[in-house]
Structure 1
Amino acid sequence: MKPRTTLIALALTSMMAGAHADPHHRRNVCDDCGRVTGVRITEQDGKGGATGVIVGGLAGGLLGNQVGSGTGRQLATVAGAVGGAYAGKHIEGKMNKVKTWTVTVRYENGRTGTFHFRDDPHMRKGDRVHREGPSIVRG
């Protein structure tokens, strides 16, 4: 046989052997490896603290003190302080919004997982990731 014919015969034999391989043989699956299927960013109001309560209460009390005279002025001052404290706490909460990144992963074994991050994990849809402890990392 010519060398070229021998090489063609070997190549065909190799391909045919692969075609008759065990159909139940599966490739190794990494249970901790997957791809990012989605990233969602949500914002929630933060918590208002003592600063908002104090500043709001002082401002409301000063405004309430400008209304009326006598007992009416005292009631307006107290009502203004209470209302101002309440408003100040909520305004401070609006100013301190908290972002959360929710990353969804589909693992090679077919399972899915969801992870939450307080800081941008710099992950995008399609990124390869693997589980590392209770979280995931790119790579």
Structure 2
Amino acid sequence: MHPIRTVASIAVLATLGLASAHAQTYGPQDEGRRFNDGSRVVCQDVEVRRADSDPNRVGGTAAGAVIGGLVGNQIGSGSGRRIATVGGAVAGGAIGRNVQGNSQEARGDRIVESRCERVYR
């Protein structure tokens, strides 16, 4: 084999070896593991949101706004009815968003996950 190709092959293999060392993932079983460079694996429990279908609570806000607008429209007459309809829609939207958020929290849409990383100190 040609000497330049040998050196190039060794350089490529060394680069791949370094890249794979940095791409390593660690789990809770590695917590406290120490390395020769003085680094170690540290794990933390992090609260994360589980994937849900409506994270921005658009459904609850829209439903609350419609219901609030209908209720507000039943109050008053003339221009007072318009103000009551808009006020009811705004208040209903806020209440609907809050109700949906409480429902998501009750269902446990957040989970605690252990994330581990290598810390250099």
Higher helix share: 2
The normalised TM-score by structure 1 is 0.40
Higher strand share: 1
The normalised TM-score by structure 2 is 0.46
Q: Which structure has the bigger radius of gyration?
A: 1
Instruction: For CA contacts below 8 A with separation 6 or more, give which structure has more relative contact order.
Output: 2
